[in-house]
Structure 1
């Protein structure tokens, strides 16, 4: 009799554990956000993707290090996690002085020229320009440069948005060094992780990815841009021999782009690397492969769309008639473990 009671108690406890586990899984699934892909030419058309339990939200709350990402052109059709700040070793990134990683995965440097503007991406309905700051120590023939600001022009009515790192003599980690403007008017974005701003009409969304100095800029169905403000440190100055003055820490941007659509004709310092016919001029095996294009991509101001190679047309061309690039942009993030991408393993 005692043995039977023990068996019954064991079965009861096992049943309770199973029910609890199933309930927990259901609750976790219910808490995860979902997104359906509506791009007709994508392999995931009309398929719903659910965020993993490790990153259940596209806009996670305070303190989260990972956000959910859906790539409708990834043939696996599965949502993944990514770091909430720019991954300077990932595709579409522009960091340091400035070091780019193109859509083809090749690293290259584009120095441009200090106090001038260049088109990073130019497509029929979307353009991103960058203002470069820098200095030229005595005896050097080329400027050291960094990306100080971004200017976005987008949509059929050529709406504008700018994001810049404000000048600072000394770097203070407790000061917000970001300045944001939409349609020429400065935006007041509350400090604090997950603070969000969006204008009426929802043309653009800006959300902080940390209390200060880091944001995610989203242009619905066009692009996502992660941006972070950093200084040129004394250590950087000593290693690279920049000759940084005492009254300017050259606060600048680290950025990473994720494009949701691009045409076959996309241009720009970074944009051209996503074209199927692009042959990267960066020389393999060179420590700092520098590519040119200053004359092709120079614009007269941060929000000017004209340059020799620019293709922006105020959205006047029908996007439905434009042949699109099929983008498979797995955002590999090697900060989260050995396997951080779909079918890709990170090695140290």
Structure 2
């Protein structure tokens, strides 16, 4: 199976980034080859060493990007808008809970906010991991806008690709590695989860096309995320988490131009580190059968493409 590597190259935001295949095993044809990010994701893409080209990092199962656009564990694309300045449960299981803090702008012509995920909190065992995008008025790829903390202590990573941090021997193995010199990391907790996180801005062009109304005082830096889980139970819930349950049937209206998941009240949390949403499972014991990683394989279309209503086979 291809190893997908997230990367963001240096340069101004109006220029497409380039990524490289870095898998040394099995892909000699593509090893070290540079690929330009597709037009659909000029700032954030991944090198697919199997397809020998760049694909959008937001087109994989477990992706959370844009205004927030999700690709569930079932491969179906949907949107969940939530509300600006509020926190929502993305996933809740007996030993893992993930909340997201939404930022946004109100569009007076619509009944909802434009929203983006500014930060996430990951609760596992008795630990807390925070990953956030720092607020900035203007965007510069050369400046790191990532804010990371583990159990309340800030984590500082050197500004170089491959820089890493890991827990000491008496903790659950957790590693954080820069996948680019700035604004992109991969986080992995052994046997629990793997998360890719990139900080990106809302560009002037995006604001113009979608009528976001983003001004010069704030570029709404936010997170683009990719999740992979290794040991969820069949009771898992949350905006994203429920889509990993065996037999889950999506209720979003697939004929819509923007299939939206409703039920905001079920996923609302009182705070970023709170596990009190209505569908919370965290700390409730190991109820349910554990689904192994073979049941939660990456969902990727052979074309590398995604989109509205895309369903790819595991």
Q: Normalising TM by the smaller chain, what interval?
A: 0.7 to 0.9
Deviations 1:49-87 (CA, angstroms, capped at 9, x unpaired): x983338xxxx99x997599xxxxxxxxxxx89999972
Cross-structure match for 2:199: 229
Cross-structure match for 1:172: 140
Counting matched residue pairs gives 268
Q: Is the 8 A contact 1:52 1:81 kept in 2?
A: no
Give the SS at the match of 2:59. Answer: coil
Which of 119, 126, 147 aligns to 1:149? It is 119
1:196 equivalent to 2:164? Answer yes
Q: 1:116 to 1:272 in 2, by over 3 A?
A: same
Give the SS at the match of 1:237. Answer: helix
Cross-structure match for 1:93: 63
Give the SS at the match of 1:235. Answer: helix
Cross-structure match for 1:264: 234
Which of 266, 270, 275 aligns to 1:300? It is 270
Normalized per residue, the structure richer in strand is 2
Could you tell me how far apart the structure 2 residues matched to 1:204 and 1:82 are? 30
Cross-structure match for 1:239: 209
Normalized per residue, the structure richer in helix is 1
Q: Is the 8 A contact 2:61 2:75 kept in 1?
A: yes
1:52 equivalent to 2:52? Answer no
TM-score normalised by structure 2 residue count? 0.78
Give the SS at the match of 2:290. Answer: coil
1:128 is displaced (CA, Å) by: 0.8
TM-score normalised by structure 1 residue count? 0.70
1:123 is displaced (CA, Å) by: 0.5
Moved over 4 A (4+): 63-68, 80-86, 333-337
**1:1-348 mapped onto 2 (5 Å cutoff):** 52-54=25-27, 87-155=57-125, 158-200=126-168, 201-313=171-283, 317-318=285-286, 322-326=288-292, 327-332=295-300
Could you tell me how far apart the structure 1 residues matched to 2:276 and 2:52 are? 34
Give the SS at the match of 1:307. Answer: coil
Give the SS at the match of 2:227. Answer: strand
Could you tell me how far apart the structure 2 residues matched to 1:176 and 1:161 are? 19
Give the SS at the match of 2:265. Answer: helix
Give the SS at the match of 1:239. Answer: helix
1:325 is displaced (CA, Å) by: 2.3
Q: Is the 8 A contact 2:136 2:218 kept in 1?
A: yes
Cross-structure match for 1:13: none
Give the SS at the match of 1:88. Answer: helix
Could you tell me how far apart the structure 2 residues matched to 1:254 and 1:139 are? 26
Could you tell me how far apart the structure 1 residues matched to 2:304 and 2:254 are? 29
- Which structure has the larger Rg? 1
Could you tell me how far apart the structure 1 residues matched to 2:190 and 2:175 are? 8
1:145 is displaced (CA, Å) by: 0.1
Structure 2 unaligned residues grouped into runs of 5+: 1-22, 36-45, 306-311
CA RMSD of aligned residues (A): 3.0
Could you tell me how far apart the structure 2 residues matched to 1:84 and 1:259 are? 24
Q: Is the 8 A contact 1:86 1:255 kept in 2?
A: no
1:258 is displaced (CA, Å) by: 0.8
Deviations 1:139-195 (CA, angstroms, capped at 9, x unpaired): 32100000000100002xx20010000001001111001000011111111111011
Q: Is the 8 A contact 1:225 1:256 kept in 2?
A: yes
